[in-house]
Structure 1
Amino acid sequence: MIKHDPNPLYTADPARYENMPYRRCGKSGLKLPALSLGLWQNFGAVDSLQNAKNMLHRAFDLGINHFDLANNYGPPYGSAESTFGHVMAKSLHAYRDELLISSKAGYDMWGGPFGQGGSRKYLVASCDQSLKRTGLDYFDIFYSHCFDPNTPLEETMQALDYIVRSGRALYVGISNYSPQQTQQAIAILKDLGTPLLVHQPRYNMFDRWIEDGLCDILIEEGIGSVVFSPLAQGFLTDKYLGGIPQDSRASRSEQIYLNAEQITQDKVFKVQKLNEIAQQRGQSLAQMALAWVLSNPAVTSSIIGASKVRQIEDCVAALSNLDFTQDELSQIRQIIV
């Protein structure tokens, strides 16, 4: 049970928009902050509510006005949305019209045949549940979290169109779709009259799949992108310069995206070489990795994750040095090839 905040008063920093760059999302009228805050981890029911609140407040004070959710973020599933809903009701509700709040559905959420996928039944039901957990009247962006090969793409896109037309969301997006699937989704939504606003793919120095066709499609079609995992689940930080620390994500065997088997000596060597370039730039490795992601012209915003306020502040500090020389980019390409 969530305890009521004994001191709910919060006033946002009046200078919150002075230093954060905002980028137009494709050809739309919407602008996104260069950095967005993801609530995938550290905002669940098992985590500290006070810490979650502190991170949300600090992020907004620094100009991060885009908060990214999904129905199954937690743990347990749904609890990140509930945590956000609590903070929203207690201290952020006065700023609702300044915030961009997104959620998604696609991966498994509840049992039975209607608890995952891209069907109209699942997407609409999940959106309704997410709105209840967050206490919102609408989402700014609602995503199809993943392509469902067992559901006609037309049905999935029609569900997103319906979600907008019914007032449940203002814009729609897709996540983890291949270039071909993306091109098809763009065409279907265009015909329906609810254009695709944004794609949310995984992208970092060690995972550059979007450069093989997807970036070109997004630029040509005027679609924005909000990329996730820019730090490769923490691998592109100074934490792994000497190997795998025992308290790291990679040391936990249940990790899917970053585990000990993936952290080879070759990759550790590459991280060390990248860190040398970052030091020459006067940045941490994490800050340079964020700057590198944001240097891609197809990228509108990068989602950051955090477990403490200081990590958010460190990420925002990367925005003071986003430019790369051609020599730096060449050195980086030679390392990550």
Structure 2
Amino acid sequence: MYSASDTRYDKMTYNRSGRSGLRLPAVSLGLWHNFGGIDTSENGRAMIRRAFDLGITHFDLANNYGPPPGSAEEAFGSMLRKDLLPYRDELIISTKAGYFMWPGPYGEWGSRKYLVSSLDQSLKRMGLDYVDIFYHHRPDPNTPLEETMGALDAVVRQGKALYVGLSNYSPEETREASRILRGLGTPCLIHQPSYSMLNRWIEDGLQDVLDEEGIGSIAFSPLHKGILTDRYLNGIAPDSRAAGPSVFLSENEITEEVLGKVRKLSELAAERGQKMSQLALAWVLRGGRVTSALIGASKVSQIEDAAAALDAPELSAAELERIEEILRG
């Protein structure tokens, strides 16, 4: 029987999400990859248990995570029953809906029909009565925003979710969605955008909107699909994601120009006694504008490295300027 570490809350940092009462761990674990039906369940189980022992209380899923779609939620539900069920009230479990899940006109996007049906399916797969956060995964250009936000409000009132959030919404869409939700009495808790040293789009307006609206943020892909690690410093390894037929990372993204920047950043990380991945996480979390960095992992040691990134001193003004110079090229 699994028994959680008595020291699990000793070192993890917890940040308040916007102006809400909820605090999230500075590092959260996403189950986008490596927890699906094609993956080794015991490896996933070991990662979940180690994450919780390190104070990572937030586990992020979506209806389509796998592969195949839905299998990550099924796997997590099994791990929850085997190991974490006694600790349910210590966990933040999130899921999302927005991408394709089933055939026909009600199997994706943002209608009330799809969102409510999808959450019901997610709860059944995980064996839960409710999730802590339910996200709309992407904007729907053909459904009125009032309908989509009304569906998010409805699932909270039905007791199926405690909080709601957005993902991949533009600054303008976020502001309007927040206005609608606030009027309904279910404020938007959090926004989940992609963000890293190599992908800084949220700095162009979105972060300002989140600050103004009192919404937290959790950055996915803070290691930019693994490029901001030590993995590709000496080229593309045969067993890497970029070397295979991945739809998430292609060899064309790992240019010599990008690798040159990563090598210089890695030198700075070494001076700080960190790995490249740890520097990337520290950078995303700098200044307190990002509530949590959402990592993916394929082995326990990667989760341990991510949690250890919080042990280093905060980045100094000189180090931040040096990073900017490197990124400018």
Q: TM-score range by the shorter chain?
A: over 0.9
Q: What stretches of structure 2 of length at least 5 have no aligned partner?
A: none
Q: Is the 8 A contact 1:292 1:322 kept in 2?
A: no
Q: Which secondary structure does the structure 2 equivalent of 1:37 belong to?
A: strand
Counterpart check, 1:293 vs 2:284:
yes
Counterpart check, 1:315 vs 2:306:
yes
Question: Which residue identity does 1:151 align to in structure 2?
Answer: T
- Counterparts of residues 118-197 of structure 1 (less than 5 Å): 118-197=110-189
Measured against aligned partners, the alpha-carbon deviations of 1:51-108 in whole angstroms (never above 9, x if no partner) come to: 1111100000000000000000001000000000001111111000000000000011
Q: Which secondary structure does the structure 1 equivalent of 2:66 belong to?
A: coil
Q: Is the 8 A contact 1:294 1:322 kept in 2?
A: no
Runs (4+) of structure 1 moved beyond 6 Å? Answer: none
Structure 2: distance between partners of 1:68 and 1:177:
18
What is the TM-score when the length of structure 1 is the normalising length?
0.96
Q: Which secondary structure does the structure 1 equivalent of 2:288 belong to?
A: coil
Q: Which position in structure 2 is the counterpart of 1:224?
A: 216
Q: Which position in structure 2 is the counterpart of 1:18?
A: 10
* Percent of pairs with identical residues: 61
Measured against aligned partners, the alpha-carbon deviations of 1:283-311 in whole angstroms (never above 9, x if no partner) come to: 00000000000114320001111111111
Counterpart check, 1:55 vs 2:47:
yes
Offset, 1:128: 0.1
Q: Is the 8 A contact 1:139 1:170 kept in 2?
A: yes
Q: Which position in structure 2 is the counterpart of 1:66?
A: 58
Q: Which position in structure 1 is the counterpart of 2:239?
A: 247
Offset, 1:255: 2.3
CA distance 1:265–1:109, change in 2 (3 Å) = same
Q: Which secondary structure does the structure 1 equivalent of 2:236 belong to?
A: coil
Structure 2: distance between partners of 1:266 and 1:322:
29
Structure 2: distance between partners of 1:121 and 1:335:
48
Structure 2: distance between partners of 1:61 and 1:253:
34
Offset, 1:254: 3.1
Structure 2: distance between partners of 1:322 and 1:248:
31
Match of 2:261 among 255, 266, 270: 270
Q: Is the 8 A contact 1:81 1:130 kept in 2?
A: yes
Question: Which residue identity does 2:311 align to in structure 1?
Answer: S
Q: Is the 8 A contact 1:109 1:116 kept in 2?
A: yes
Structure 1: distance between partners of 2:149 and 2:273:
45
Question: Which residue identity does 1:330 align to in structure 2?
Answer: E
Structure 2: distance between partners of 1:296 and 1:225:
13
Q: Is the 8 A contact 1:200 1:228 kept in 2?
A: yes
Q: Is the 8 A contact 1:201 1:227 kept in 2?
A: yes
Q: Is the 8 A contact 1:101 1:140 kept in 2?
A: yes
Q: Is the 8 A contact 1:287 1:318 kept in 2?
A: yes
Structure 1: distance between partners of 2:211 and 2:45:
36
Structure 1: distance between partners of 2:56 and 2:73:
18
Residue-pair matches, total: 328
Counterpart check, 1:75 vs 2:67:
yes
Question: Which residue identity does 2:134 align to in structure 1?
Answer: F
Structure 2: distance between partners of 1:322 and 1:88:
34
Q: Is the 8 A contact 1:295 1:322 kept in 2?
A: no
Match of 2:320 among 309, 319, 329: 329
Q: RMSD in angstroms over aligned alpha carbons?
A: 0.8
Structure 2: distance between partners of 1:125 and 1:92:
26
What is the TM-score when the length of structure 2 is the normalising length?
0.98
Question: Which residue identity does 1:262 align to in structure 2?
Answer: E
Counterpart check, 1:282 vs 2:273:
yes
Q: Which secondary structure does the structure 2 equivalent of 1:238 belong to?
A: coil
Question: Which residue identity does 1:334 align to in structure 2?
Answer: E
Q: What stretches of structure 1 of length at least 5 have no aligned partner?
A: 1-8
Q: Which position in structure 2 is the counterpart of 1:94?
A: 86
